[in-house]
Amino acid sequence: MRELVSSFDPYFPRAAKPRALSRRRFLQRLSLTAATVGFPMIMPASALGRGGAVAPSERIVMGAIGIGSRGLHVLRWMLPEKDVQFVAVCDVKRAARETAKQTIDQHYGNQDCQMYRDMRAFLTERTDLDAVLIATGDRWHALAAIWAMQSGKDVFVEKPSSMTIAEGRAVLETARRYNRVYQTGTQRLSEANFVFCIEAARRGLLGRIHTVYAQIAPWDKAEMRRDWLPAQPEPPVDELDWDAWLGPCPWRPFNAEYVAGGWRGHYDFHTSCIGEWGAHTFAQAQMGLGLENTSPVRYHYAANNTGDGMIAEFANGVRLILSRGDPWWHGACGMRFVGTEGWASCADGYSRPEVSPPSLLSEYRRLVSDYMARTGRPMSHVRDFFNCIKSRRQTVANAAVMHHSMTTVHACNICMWLKRDLEFDPANETFPNDPEANRLRSRAMRAPYTI
């Protein structure tokens, strides 16, 4: 199969292009044509949705961008969905796109998946795509999502979904302007143990919530490296397009360690230990508090290099405390809601949440079932995304939920970088009378990789 690798186009249209003829309309026209000319149209049962198959007219046609180790994990999570079909992949690394193509072709038993190196060409040319999975490095999440939505595609994007407050705002406004379905990869919002804790807090089973603990990654620091790794010879562009790998970040010399995951911990590419897991846990915390559409108003500097113990206060006085997690849970991405009548805590790997009083667990099945019935949400993050593509409703981790929880991440980082307390106005997303902090709400983006 020919690999579609095109040159970079410095122009990308701001308005979504007209969509190609849909499969449903195509089949309707084909059927009408057959009837008009007077011969029977013979179609396989699978094309009609028989025998348990999903008719092509009802399938969600997908592409994937940035398919490394995490991307392959999410791809394999999505592939079994019977109403989803992946047809193309895009990655700046040849080995990654070839591995993704092999995975997709093996799943469908064909050789149809097409490969692209250039993201803009991919998004412009593939007018047949309904949606894309984006699992690039952090630096690309917001810009790739914006370009995809501008090209008329719905988006499932890995976390953390923005590098700055300004990027998050741009993603939210793009989703609204183009009426796109957007889901960020905070999948614990669609897992029963976490949903139980969120619902217990939200519905008053713990009394009045006064404190919520949210885990940040127990590695790296809040203060990231500002230097760069020594230059190494660049590989051929078809093997790795280094300029596109960097994307909107400042130009840095090639070093293979970056591409192998060593970009983490560098200011140019990362959102620190706070963003690494706070992208998950802050969204979980704010959802349980019913504050998913705002952010804390006061940030208290923690005199260490990680942010452990840092306190962020919401306008209603509830405290969000950042924690490496040892006292409050076991497992990854933990959270703990503490109220006047009890507490609830969970993390990855729990068979059931830990609660006080223990009698709260008798409400487990009811709370999760009631949540699913009330919201229509499945206990599957990718299924929620696909259902919303069809219904055009908002996902559980929609662009607004993402932006406000990531704004909390970025404000915490800015507090740690400036090494002093901060006040924040969530309504206009500024630090009042603090030009130094306000300058850190955005970063320069390297042309032509700009919003």
* Integer Rg of the chain from CA: 23
Round to whole Å and give the CA distance between 323 and 310.
Answer: 8
Could you tell me which of 194, 155, 186 has the C-alpha nearest to residue 171? 155
What CATH architecture is 188-222+271-439?
2-Layer Sandwich (3.30)
CB 419, CB 412: distance < 8 Å: no
DSSP state for residue 297 in the 8-state scheme: S
Q: What is the pLDDT of residues 76-108, one digit of tens each?
A: 999 999 999 999 999 999 999 999 999 999 999
Question: Cα(408)–Cα(392) distance, rounded to whole angstroms?
Answer: 27
CA-based end-to-end distance of the chain = 33
- 107-108-109 Cα angle (round to 5): 95
pLDDT of 10 strictly over 60: no
The CA-atom distances, in angstroms, between 152 and each of 13, 26, 290 are: 11, 19, 31
Q: Is the pLDDT of residue 274 over 80?
A: yes
Asked whether residue 8 carries a pLDDT value surpassing 80, the answer given is: no
- For residue 160, whether the previous peptide bond is cis, meaning omega lies within 30 degrees of 0, is yes
- What are 205-224's pLDDT values in tens digits? 999 999 999 999 999 999 99
Residue 13 and residue 147: Cα distance in Å, rounded?
9
Element (H, E) at 36: helix 23-37
Give the model confidence (pLDDT) of 38-87 as tens digits. 444 444 444 445 556 788 888 999 999 999 999 999 999 999 999 999 99
Distance of alpha carbon 392 from alpha carbon 37, whole angstroms:
37
Question: Which pair of structure tokens corresponds to residue 258?
Answer: 């970056």
How far from 412 is each of 3, 25, 418, CA to CA, in Å? 43, 49, 10
85-114 burial string, b = 16+ CB within 10 Å, else e?
Answer: bbbbbbbbbbebbebbbebbeeeeeeeebb
403-442 pLDDT, tens digit per residue, is 999 999 999 999 999 999 999 999 999 999 999 999 999 9
DSSP per-residue string spanning 251-285: P----HHIIIIITTTBTTT--HHHHHHHHHHHHHH
